[in-house]
């Protein structure tokens, strides 16, 4: 399984996906919720899927009936949930200054 470099956009996408790990989301929905541009989120989704963190499916809808292209829905895998939580924890650890403690230091 490839190791993914965690960028801010990837962490934002993971945070959004982890909010409801069982929920299927389509790319534009995820982009809006994460505060990302669609052109940014789709390569992230492909990378996560290639790493085994996501599974996807194309909706079974007629574009002529819906008036829009078919959507591809993405959902975190159990491996993806674990990896996303580890990535978020590592990111939070890096942001904390060395020697910082929880709570107020008076």
In a domain, 2, yes or no: no
CB 9 within 8 A of CB 16: no
- Dump pLDDT digits (tens) for 6-43: 999 999 999 999 999 999 999 999 999 999 999 999 99
Question: Does a structural domain hold residue 26?
Answer: yes
Measure the CA–CA gap between 67 and 73, rounded to whole angstroms: 17
Domain annotation covers residue 98: no
pLDDT band at 76 (very low <50, low <70, confident <90, very high): very high
How far from each other are the two terminal CA atoms of the chain, in whole angstroms? Answer: 46
Q: How many domains does the chain have?
A: 1
State the pTM of this model. 0.82
Kindly report the CATH number assigned to the domain that includes residue 74.
1.10.10.10
d(CA 52, CA 105): 42
Does residue 29 lie in a domain region? yes
Asked if residue 100 belongs to a domain, the reply is: no
Separation CA 82–CA 90 (nearest Å): 12
- What's the Rg (C-alpha) of the chain? 16
């Amino acid at each position: 399984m490839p190791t993914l470099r965690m960028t801010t956009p990837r962490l934002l996408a993971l945070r959004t996906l982890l909010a409801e790990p069982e929920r299927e989301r389509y790319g534009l929905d995820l982009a809006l919720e994460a505060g990302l541009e669609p052109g940014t989120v789709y390569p992230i989704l492909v990378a996560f899927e290639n790493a085994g963190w996501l599974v996807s499916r194309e909706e079974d809808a007629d574009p002529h009936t819906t008036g829009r292209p078919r959507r591809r829905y993405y959902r975190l895998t159990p491996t993806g949930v674990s990896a996303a939580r580890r990535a978020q924890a590592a990111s939070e650890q890096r942001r904390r200054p060395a020697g910082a403690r929880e709570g107020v230091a008076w």
